[in-house]
Structure 1
C-alpha cells in the first residue's frame, strides 16, 4: 500500500543506512548544475590528511570536524536530482575543534589551520566553502602524541551495464562502489552513479567527467548524478575479486 508518507519513509530509510555505514552527510560538490555529492566521511578523511603538516608545525591536534551547508534556507535548488537526503548545493561551513599546545600563539595556529582546510576543500575536493570556523577547545601541556591514520578503504563493485562501464572508464575513477546498494541507480530519465575517486584527482573534476561520459553513453541522454563515497588509492579497494 502506498501512502503520502512514502517518500519521507524512503528518505528516512536512506538516511539510516548512511548513518549505519558511517558515510555521514552527503555534501554537495561544486554548484547547483554540477550534479555531484561526496560522503562526509570521505571529505573529512581528505581534509585531515591535508592539514597533517600544519598540525605538526603549529602544535595542534585536529579533533571534531563537521561540514554543513552554511545557509540552508538560502541554498539554491539542484539542477540534477540529488541522492536521497543529500544536502542542497549551497556554500558550506567547516567547523573544526582543535587541541593546542599552551605557550604557542593560538591565533596564528588557528589561522594556519583555517587556511589549510579552506585550500584543501577547494583544491583537493571541489567543495565550495564560505567559511571555516576553528575553535581551540583544549590546551595541552606537552606536544601531542600522534597516531598515523589508517588508510581509507572502499568496497568496490564491477560495472555490469553501460552506465557503469562508462563511469568506470573515466580517469580518476578508482572503482564503482556500493555503499548504498547497487552502484548504478536508474529511474525515468535519470541515473545516479556511486564511485570512489583517486586522491590524485580533484573529486569534482572526476564527477563532472563521469557525468559527461555516462550521459553520452546512454540513449536519451538522461540526467546524471554522481555520488563519491570514498577517496582512496586503487590498492585500498576490496570486493572486486
Structure 2
C-alpha cells in the first residue's frame, strides 16, 4: 500500500546508498593486525590538500592495490593453509580491501618552467609523505601521468574532487561509543555503513571521522584500545575512518 511517507523512505534509502558508494574503496591502514580502514574519498582529499602548490594542478586520483598485491591475493585465496601462530586480524568492513600494499594513480598538469621529471618527482614525494605522515597508508607505488601544460596566468589550484555526501554524524550511545568518541583526534562518530558501533558475534566495528591535524592511523589505534577496554566481553575491534576533517573546515 502506498502511503504519504513512501517518498521519504525512498529518499532516505537513496541517500544511504549514495553515501556508501561515495566512500570509494575502503583502504587498509598500516599492518593487518591494526584492523583499520579508511574511505578512499577521505584519503584522496588529504592527498589533494597536501599537493596544493603553485604550478601543479592535480586531476583524477585513485588509490587501490598494486598489481602484485592482486595477484598475491588470488594465489592466497587458492590456498587453504594458514600458520596457526599467525594472529587473526579483525574482520574487514563489507567489500573492504585486504591489508595489501597500495598504488596511487594520478593525473596532473604543470607549468612548462621546470622539467617534467622534476615536477613529477616533487608531486610523488608530496603524495608519499602525506600518505605516510597524515594517514598511515602503506603505499608501494605512485603512477603519475602528465595530461597538460599550464599556460601563463592559469590559477595555481588543485582541481576539486568528486566528493561523497557528508557522513551522518552519530551521537555516542553506550559505553563503547562513548569511549571511542572521547579519544583525542576523533571529530565524531559517523553512520554510513550502518550504526557508529556495529556489534557482531565475533567482532565490533567503529565508524568515525578524524581530525586532519592527527594521523588517522594513530587515532584509530587509540580508538581500538579504548573500545577494547570499555567492552565487558572482549572482542576483536576494527575501525573505519569515513572522513578526515581539516581544522577550520566547519564540519
TM-score, structure 1 length as denominator? 0.83
Q: Name the SS for the 1:83 alignment partner.
A: coil
For structure 2, the 5+ residue unaligned runs are 1-15, 78-87
1:74 CA displacement: 2.0
1:17 CA displacement: 3.0
2:59 maps to which residue?
A: 63
**CA RMSD between the two structures:** 2.6
1:34 maps to which residue?
A: 34
Q: Name the SS for the 1:120 alignment partner.
A: helix
Distance across 1 between alignment mates of 2:50 and 2:56: 14
Q: Are positions 1:174 and 2:170 aligned together?
A: no
1:43 maps to which residue?
A: 43
Map of 1:36-185 to 2, 5 A cutoff? 36-53=36-53, 56=54, 59-70=55-66, 71-75=69-73, 79-146=89-156, 154-185=167-198
Q: How many residues are paired up?
A: 220
Would you say the 8 A contact 2:19–2:192 is kept in 1?
Answer: no
Distance across 2 between alignment mates of 1:178 and 1:51: 29
Structure 1, 221-230 or 17-26: larger mean CA deviation: 17-26
Distance across 2 between alignment mates of 1:52 and 1:235: 17
Would you say the 8 A contact 2:181–2:189 is kept in 1?
Answer: yes
Distance across 2 between alignment mates of 1:176 and 1:202: 17
Would you say the 8 A contact 1:18–1:180 is kept in 2?
Answer: no
Q: Which has the larger radius of gyration?
A: 2
1:142 CA displacement: 2.6
